[in-house]
């Protein structure tokens, strides 16, 4: 059985794990001593496979805020194709109150972007090929062994002074079942508004329409509703699905026509410690999985990456030292931003879906207050844009 030794092994080659490998490679004396372990991606389906219409439109999209874009650009891993978000329109169905967040008020070129999941991962993989990071196609769980971590897989053992789990393993600790499923699909709008994104709160959950990178008239839909409603909507003919979506969203973008199949995912909050053991750290979905409201999941994971690479930078120059002080610095600094973001994404969908008229009116009043008071509006927007700085 082959045994390999590294300074850091990263378990999980998704966006967060790949970005961390790139960030650490830039700080390490030898980038080959950074190992990225993960299974190869499955082959992409042929264009149009399983889609209702408009072959080639990918339903999997990610909303990345301005801070995430800047970070990925520094890693040389920003996709060529991306749709700008310059304004965000937030409203509540059947209630007064709405707020518009504009990039000019925050003095940034854009609030964020929407990219295809595959485009982002392809760009990260291309950057990794140039980075010198060691790639290991395997899956393993970390196991503490003395002063190192051992990862046993079918072809051998990988040992490292430090392991980072970013493979999407469900964290244990705080848990909440929302009683909601997310419907993902893409639509074509007859009156598109380039650069505008929408978050509409309904009694069954938030409904988001995000500009799609594959066309100015295309929007990525994330529609949160009850599991029963999601099952019903998934089985509807396209025209009836479009009618019900239009009823919930309204006519701000004109007529909406779905162009991809409907995918459904259950929603829950899972948040656990960032230190799994003295030699293993969790980031991204291995540390927290969030409700998709406000699109904070990967953005929070990339802030994990940025802060961890910053904390480990001095240690990577002399990795024979104990990494404990550097890991402790990371966990201490990540706490405030992490738990504030978790709280925001946990509270928002529950407040606006209580079906209590008093709570709904209070939510509308809060939206109106943010619209009338720029400092209040911009404080929330800044948190969603770049996180809490410590």
**Structure tokens belonging to residue 144:** 């503490």
Identify the residue with better confidence: 18 or 202. 18
Task: Give the residue-averaged pLDDT of 270-298.
Answer: 94
For 44-70, write each residue's pLDDT tens digit: 544 444 334 444 565 689 999 999 999
Determine the pLDDT at residue 373.
75
Task: Give the residue-averaged pLDDT of 138-156.
Answer: 87
Determine the pLDDT at residue 229.
96
DSSP string, 291-331: --GGG-HHHHHHHHHHHHHHHHHHHHHSTTS--HHHHHHHH
Identify the residue with better confidence: 249 or 141. 249
Strands 142-145 and 34-37: unpaired
**CA nearest 71: which of 359, 302, 310?**
302
| Percent of the chain at pLDDT exceeding 70 | 90
Identify the residue with better confidence: 364 or 272. 272
Give the least confident one: 11-20, 36-45, 228-237, 320-329: 36-45
List domains and CATH numbers for the chain: 2-48+118-173+269-347 (3.50.50.60), 61-116+178-268+356-386 (3.30.9.10)
pLDDT at 108 over 60: yes
Identify the residue with better confidence: 96 or 28. 28
Mean residue pLDDT of the chain comes to 90
Determine the pLDDT at residue 361.
57
Query: Measured between alpha carbons, how far is 93 from 355 in angstroms, rounded to an integer?
Result: 12
Task: Give the residue-averaged pLDDT of 13-22.
Answer: 97
pLDDT at 241 over 50: yes
pLDDT at 21 over 90: yes
Strands 2-11 and 156-165: parallel
For 327-385, write each residue's pLDDT tens digit: 999 999 999 999 999 999 998 888 877 776 766 657 666 676 676 778 878 888 888 88
Report the predicted TM-score, pTM, of the whole model to 2 decimal places. Answer: 0.92
With contact defined as beta carbons under 8 Å apart, do 293 and 224 qualify? yes
């Amino acid at each position: 059985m082959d045994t390999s030794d590294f300074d850091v092994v990263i378990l999980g080659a998704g966006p967060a794990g790949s970005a961390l490998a790139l960030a650490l490679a830039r700080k390490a004396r030898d980038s080959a001593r950074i190992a990225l372990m993960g299974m190869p991606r499955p082959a992409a389906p042929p264009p149009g496979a399983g889609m209702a219409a408009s072959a080639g439109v990918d339903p999997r999209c990610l909303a990345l805020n301005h801070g995430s874009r800047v970070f990925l650009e520094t890693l040389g891993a920003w996709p060529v194709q991306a749709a700008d978000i310059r304004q965000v329109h937030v409203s509540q169905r059947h209630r007064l109150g709405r707020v518009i967040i504009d990039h000019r008020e925050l003095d940034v070129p854009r609030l964020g972007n929407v990219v295809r999941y595959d485009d982002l991962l392809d760009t990260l993989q291309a950057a990794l090929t140039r980075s010198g990071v060691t790639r290991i196609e395997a899956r393993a769980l970390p196991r503490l062994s003395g002063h190192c971590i051992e990862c046993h897989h079918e072809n051998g053992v990988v040992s490292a002074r430090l392991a980072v789990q970013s493979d999407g393993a469900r964290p244990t600790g705080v848990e909440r079942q929302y009683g909601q499923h997310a419907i993902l699909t893409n639509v074509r709008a007859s009156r598109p508004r380039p650069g505008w994104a929408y978050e509409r709160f309904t009694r069954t959950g938030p409904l988001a329409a995000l500009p799609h990178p594959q066309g100015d008239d295309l929007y990525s839909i994330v529609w949160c509703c009850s599991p029963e409603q999601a099952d019903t909507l998934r089985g509807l003919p396209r025209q009836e699905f479009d009618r019900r979506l239009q009823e919930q969203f309204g006519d701000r973008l004109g007529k909406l026509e779905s162009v991809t199949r409907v995918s459904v995912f259950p929603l829950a909050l899972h948040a656990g410690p960032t230190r799994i053991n003295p030699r293993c750290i969790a980031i991204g979905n291995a540390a927290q999985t969030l409700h998709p409201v406000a699109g904070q999941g990967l953005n929070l994971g990339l802030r994990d990456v940025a802060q961890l690479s910053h904390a480990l930078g001095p240690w990577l120059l002399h990795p024979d030292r104990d990494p404990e002080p550097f890991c402790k610095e990371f966990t201490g600094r990540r706490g405030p931003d992490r738990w504030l973001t978790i709280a925001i994404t946990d509270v928002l969908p529950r407040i606006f879906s209580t079906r209590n008229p008093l709570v709904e009116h209070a939510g509308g009043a809060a939206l109106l207050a943010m619209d009338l008071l720029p400092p209040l509006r911009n404080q929330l927007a800044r948190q969603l844009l770049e996180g809490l700085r410590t």
